[in-house]
Amino acid sequence: MRIPTSKPAIVTAFGIAAVLGISVAAIPILAQVNEAAEIEAVTQQYREAWQRGNLDRVMQFWTTDAKAVGPGSVATGAAAIRASLEQSVKMGIHDLRHEEREIYGRGEMVVEVTRSVVFDHDEKPILTLRYMTLWQKSGGQWRIHREFVVPVGAPQQP
Ordered per-residue pLDDT tens for the chain, 158 residues = 444 444 444 444 434 434 444 444 443 444 456 889 999 999 999 999 999 999 999 999 999 999 999 988 999 999 999 999 999 999 999 999 999 999 999 889 999 999 999 999 999 999 999 999 999 998 899 999 999 999 997 765 55
Query: Is 2 within a domain?
Result: no
pLDDT at res. 156: 59
Query: Is 158 within a domain?
Result: no
List beta partners, residue 69. Answer: 74, 148
Query: Is 93 within a domain?
Result: yes
pLDDT at res. 11: 42
Query: Is 100 within a domain?
Result: yes
Query: Is 53 within a domain?
Result: yes
Query: At 145, which helix (H) or strand (E)?
Result: strand 141-153
Query: At 8, which helix (H) or strand (E)?
Result: helix 7-52
Query: Other CB atoms closer than 10 Å to residue 51's CB: what's the count?
Result: 13
Is 129:95 a contact under the CB 8 Å cutoff?
no
Query: Is 31 within a domain?
Result: yes
Burial per residue of 27-46, b for 16 or more beta-carbon CB atoms within 10 angstroms, e otherwise: eeeeebeebbebbeebbeeb
Three-state DSSP state, 137: strand
| 12 residue type, one letter | T
Distance CA 116, CA 126 (A): 11
pLDDT at res. 153: 77
Residue from 146, 152, 75, 145 nearest 116 by CA: 152
Find the CATH number of the domain harbouring 133: 3.10.450.50
Its pTM stands at 0.76
pLDDT at res. 115: 95
pLDDT at res. 139: 87
Query: Is 123 within a domain?
Result: yes
* Burial of 117 from C-beta contacts in 10 A (0-12 / 13-18 / 19+): middle
Query: How many domains are there within the chain?
Result: 1
Query: Is 46 within a domain?
Result: yes
Which residue range(s) make up the domain with 54?
Answer: 7-153
